[in-house]
Structure 1
C-alpha cells in the first residue's frame, strides 16, 4: 500500500507543491515522508497486533465503568503522543500545520490497522475542529485545545432512539439555566434533558473527560419545541464539569450511560445510549422560575441559537470523508490479505487445450482467471477509492490555502463529491471485503483469518454518518442542483479536461470515449429526474443515481491516474507497479462502468415501482 500512497501523493497530487504556500512553508517532501513513516510504524506496532483482541473482547459495563482492553489504552496513548490529533492545527495549538491530504494519508495506516480503535481519534479531531470553526474563544481554549492535546476525547450526539436519522424529530430539550445563563465564561449555560442513541465513544476511561457535542432544541416562548430543524441548537456537554481554565471541578455532569450497543463489527469502539438530565448525577441545582430549570445536564451553547445543525454539518462532512477513508482501508486490508493467500494456496490445475491434466502439479489459486478477477476487482475498488479520498483531502487544502477563485472552486467541488466520498467506498470496498472472503473460500468464513472481521467492521460504513439512502437524497436532491447546477457543471468541466488529455493517448482513448458517454448519460438522467419538478418523483430512485454518479466519478479518477501511470511507464518507471494501475483502470472501464446504464434508466424514467409499492403487497 505504501508505494501506492506515495505514488498518489507525490506524483499524482503533487503535495510538494503545497510547501510553496506560507502555511506549509516549513515542510518538504521529506517531512511528509517522515510523518507517514512514524504513523505506519505506530499502526504496525500498537494497533494491528490487537485488532482481533479489540473485536473479541468487547467493551463491557460493570455498573460504574466501561472496560476496554489495555491494548486499546496503549494504542490511543501512542496515537496521542504522535501529535496526530493536532496534526493540521497551528503551531500555537501544538500542531504541525500539515496539509489535510498528508494528515489523511497518515491516518490511513491507523484505519487499516484497526478502524475501531482509531475511531476515537477521528471523532475527537472532528469535534475539536468544529469548535475551532464555531465555538467561542473560551470554548476553543478549554475544550478544543484539550482535545487536540489528547487530554480529553470527543463525540457527536445527533440521533435519538425515536428519531434515528430524522433530525427534525429531535426531542432533547435545552432550557436556560437561570442566573447562570450569561455569566458562565464557557458560554450561555443551559440544562439539557433527553436521550441520544448510537453515540460512538460515548463512554470510556481512555481519557479523563469526554466532550459531547449535542443537538437539542430550545423551546419557544410558549414552552413548545419548534417543529423541524430550525429550532435545533448545538451544545458542548462535558462528561465531567470543568472551569474556564480547563480544570476538572471534581463534579460529574448529569450524563449517564443507559447501555452499550452490541454490534456486528466495529466492536473496539464503544457505542452507547446516553441519557442527559435523568437525575443520576444531579449537579448544582438552581431553584426558581422556569419549569425544569435547575435540573438536567449542563451544556454550553455553541454559536447562535437555531444554527446547531449547520454547525454540526461541519463535523459531519469531515466525518463522512473519514468514514470513506475507513471503508477504503478496510477494503485494502482485505485485498492484501486475500492477495497473500492466493499467492500461497495451491489448488487445482490450469485448463489447457485438452482440458486439465491431473498428472500436473497443482498451481497457486492466483493462476486461475476467476481468482484474478476477484483480486483485480478489489484492487480497482480500493486503490480507486484511496485516490478519491486523497483528492477530496487535497480539495480541503485548496479551499483553505489557495487563491480566492481556486478556493471557491475547491469548496464547490467538495460539496458535490462529499456524498460520493462517503458512500462509494462504503459500498464497493465492502464488496471488496466480500470478494476477499470468497478468495479464501471456507477459510475466509472462519475466524482463523482476518477477512471476515474486515467485512463485519466495514458493514457499518454504509450506515453511520448518513446512510446510503441519505447520501443519495443529498446528492440528487441538493448537491447537483444547488446554485443552478454550478457544482455539477464544474465537476463535468474537470472530467472533460481529463477526457481530452486521455483521448490523445492511444492506449487510453477507448476509456476516454467511455467516460465521455457516461458523463453525458449522467447529465441526461439528472435533467430527466427533475423534468416534472416533483421531488417525490425525482428522488424515488436517488440511490441508483448515487451508484451511477459514483461509478462515473471513480472512472474519472482512474482515467486521471492512468494518464500518469502510462506516462511514467513510457519514461521507464517501475513497470509491474505501473502496469498494475493500468490493469485496474482497464478492469473498471470494462467490468464496472457499463453498470451505470441500468442504474440511470430507472432514474431518467422516474420509475415508480418502489414509490408506488404498497405495504400490504409485501
Structure 2
C-alpha cells in the first residue's frame, strides 16, 4: 500500500500559522531567507528521503550491521543515502554559511529533518550526532580543535559521537572509571570501556571523532571530577589527513530491538597503553561541556519520537481509509458492502488519540526549537534570557513526553491495522520498535523526571517555571475571549492552579521529609506537567485553527482546521482530566510503590 510519510499541510500549519516563523526573517541571521527558501529546504529533504531512504527502510531493519572482529559491515545503500544528506547541505542546515550550513532557523531545520527521520529513523543519527559533536567543540573547544576536527566533520569526511556510558556505571556518571593521564606535550592517554555508543564504529567516513568523558588521575570523586576529551579513531596530521590508528578498538555491536540503521557499539580505549585524547576546555568541567551536546541530543530524541509517532499515525490513517472490513452496528443488512474501517467508532478513537499525541508532541519539539532560535537571535537581552530559562526548564519534557506518548501512538497504529499491523508486511511494527528506545537513551524518563522536580523547578529562583506559567496564562487570557475555546481555557486554568498547589506541597515536603519518598512519584509529576503543557499547545493550535476558519478557507483546509479543533477537544476531554489523579498521587506523597519491600516482590 502507498502511504504518505507525513502530512505536509500539518507541517506548514505548525511553521507558518502556529509559530509564525516568517517573523524570523527580520533578524540579521536569517535576512537571506523567506518562505520560499524555507519550503525549498523542506522539499529537498523530502526528495532525498523518498529517493534514498524510503526504498531501503525495510532492508535496513532486516539487515542490521555486523562485526567480523575486524570491521563493521552494513548494507551498501546506506553510504550513498548518508552522502546525499551531506552533499545537499542538510547535515547541519542551521549552521553558519561558513561552516557549510544553510543558516536556517532551528525550527525550520527541525522540520527539514522531519522527512529524513520519517524515512531513515536512527540511520540519520550518524549525521545528527556529528552535528551535535561539532556544536559542542565550536562552543567549548580551541580554534585549533575547531580547525582540526570540526571542519572535516562539517565536510562529511569525519563523523562524531559522544562516549559516556560505561558497563558498570550506566547512567550513574559520577561512578565512571575511564582514566586520563596527562603527557608532557599537551595530550592525555585515555583508558577505559564505553558501551552503547551510537555510531561508534562504521565505514561511512574516513575518521570518527569521539567525545569521551573520563577522570584525570587525582581528580575529585563524583561528577565534579569528570573531564571531556576528543579521542579520534585515527590521529591526524597538520593538514587533517589521516595519521596512525589511535588506541581505540571496537569490541562488539549491540543488536537492538529497533533503530538498526545505526551501530550501537562497545569500545575499548587504551588496550595498548592508552588512546591519545585532547582536552576540551578545562579539566573537571567535562560534564558541563557534555551537557551542551546532551541537551541538544535530548531535543533530537524528542523530535525523533514525535516524528515516528506522526509517521505511524499517517500510515494507519491511510490504511484505515482504504481497508474494507465489517459493518457498523446500525447496519442490519449482512449483504451490504463492508465499510472502510475508519468508519468504525473504535478505529476513529485510536486514530484521534494518535493525532492528539503525535501532533501535540511535535508542537512541543518545534516550540523548543523556536526557543533555541530566540536564545541566539532575539533582538534584546531580556528575550534571549527568557528563552534560555524556558528551554532549560522544558528540556526534560521535550525529551520525555514525546518519547513516552509517541510509542503509545505507534502501538495504536499497530492496533488499527490489526493482525496486519503485527507483521512486517507493513512498517508500523517497525515504527514502534524504533520509537521504543527513545524513553531510555539520553537520560531515561526517570532521570528526566528527577531533573525537572529536584532541579529545574527551583533553578535560578524558579525563573523557567514562572516564565512558563506566565506564557500559559497569556494564552488562557486570549482564548477566554473566543467562544469556541473558552471552556478549554477555563479547564487549563484549573489544571495549572492544581499544578501550582502540587508543586508547592512537594517542595515544602522535601525540606522536612525523606527526599527519596517525596520524589518517588517524580515520573507521575512529569506526566502531569507534560500533559498540561501539551494541553496549552493544543489550545494554541485551536486558536490558530479558529483564525484559519475565519478566513473562509476552501473545503480541504476547512476540514483540516476542524480536525485540529476536534483533536484539541479530545485532549481536553480525555487526557487533561488524567492530571487530577496524578496531582493527587504526587501532592499526597503517595508511598504505595516506595513502601514495597525488596523481599515482598
TM-score w.r.t. length of structure 2: 0.96
- Choose which of 201, 221, 231 in structure 2 pairs with 1:237: 231
Q: Deviations over 1:326-370 (max 9, x none)?
A: 111111111111111111111111122xx6432322111100111
> How many correspondences in the alignment?
588
Contact 1:159–1:197 (CA<8 Å) still a contact in 2? yes
- Aligned equivalent of 1:109: 115
CA RMSD, Structure 1 to Structure 2 (Å): 1.0
Asked if 1:267 corresponds to 2:247, the answer is no
Measure how far apart 1:536 and its partner are.
Answer: 2.0
- Aligned equivalent of 1:286: none
Question: 1: CA distance between counterparts of 2:33 and 2:421?
Answer: 43
Unaligned runs of 5+ in 1: 182-188, 280-294
Q: What does 1:15-30 align with in structure 2 at a 5 Å threshold? A: 15-30=21-36
- Aligned equivalent of 1:191: 189
Asked if 1:432 corresponds to 2:409, the answer is yes
SS at match of 1:616: helix
Asked if 1:372 corresponds to 2:348, the answer is yes
SS at match of 2:165: coil
SS at match of 2:394: helix
Measure how far apart 1:384 and its partner are.
Answer: 1.1
Q: Deviations over 1:389-417 (max 9, x none)?
A: 11110000000011110000000000111
Contact 2:227–2:287 (CA<8 Å) still a contact in 1? yes
Q: What does 1:107-506 align with in structure 2 at a 5 Å threshold? A: 107-177=113-183, 179-181=184-186, 189-220=187-218, 226-249=220-243, 251-279=244-272, 295-352=273-330, 356-402=332-378, 403-506=380-483
- Choose which of 571, 583, 592 in structure 2 pairs with 1:609: 592
Q: What does 1:580-599 align with in structure 2 at a 5 Å threshold? A: 580-599=563-582
SS at match of 2:125: helix
Question: 2: CA distance between counterparts of 1:514 and 1:31?
Answer: 40
- Aligned equivalent of 2:3: none
Q: What does 1:554-573 align with in structure 2 at a 5 Å threshold? A: 554-573=534-553
Question: 1: CA distance between counterparts of 2:579 and 2:258?
Answer: 30
Question: 2: CA distance between counterparts of 1:18 and 1:140?
Answer: 28
Question: 1: CA distance between counterparts of 2:477 and 2:303?
Answer: 29
Question: 2: CA distance between counterparts of 1:412 and 1:434?
Answer: 34
Question: 2: CA distance between counterparts of 1:232 and 1:514?
Answer: 46
- Aligned equivalent of 1:539: 519
Question: 2: CA distance between counterparts of 1:91 and 1:341?
Answer: 42
Question: 2: CA distance between counterparts of 1:107 and 1:245?
Answer: 32
Contact 1:436–1:444 (CA<8 Å) still a contact in 2? yes
Contact 2:69–2:251 (CA<8 Å) still a contact in 1? no
Question: 2: CA distance between counterparts of 1:299 and 1:87?
Answer: 29
SS at match of 1:147: helix
Question: 1: CA distance between counterparts of 2:473 and 2:461?
Answer: 20
Contact 1:219–1:226 (CA<8 Å) still a contact in 2? no
Q: What does 1:64-75 align with in structure 2 at a 5 Å threshold? A: 64-75=70-81
Contact 1:85–1:149 (CA<8 Å) still a contact in 2? no
- Aligned equivalent of 1:5: 11
Measure how far apart 1:53 and its partner are.
Answer: 0.8
Contact 1:86–1:149 (CA<8 Å) still a contact in 2? no
Measure how far apart 1:226 and its partner are.
Answer: 2.6
Unaligned runs of 5+ in 2: 1-6
Stretches of 4+ aligned residues off by more than 6 angstroms: none
Contact 2:324–2:339 (CA<8 Å) still a contact in 1? yes
Asked if 1:80 corresponds to 2:86, the answer is yes
- Aligned equivalent of 1:282: none
Measure how far apart 1:121 and its partner are.
Answer: 1.2
Measure how far apart 1:197 and its partner are.
Answer: 0.7
SS at match of 2:484: helix
Q: Deviations over 1:130-161 (max 9, x none)?
A: 00100100111111121111111100001100
- Aligned equivalent of 1:550: 530
TM-score w.r.t. length of structure 1: 0.94
SS at match of 2:91: helix
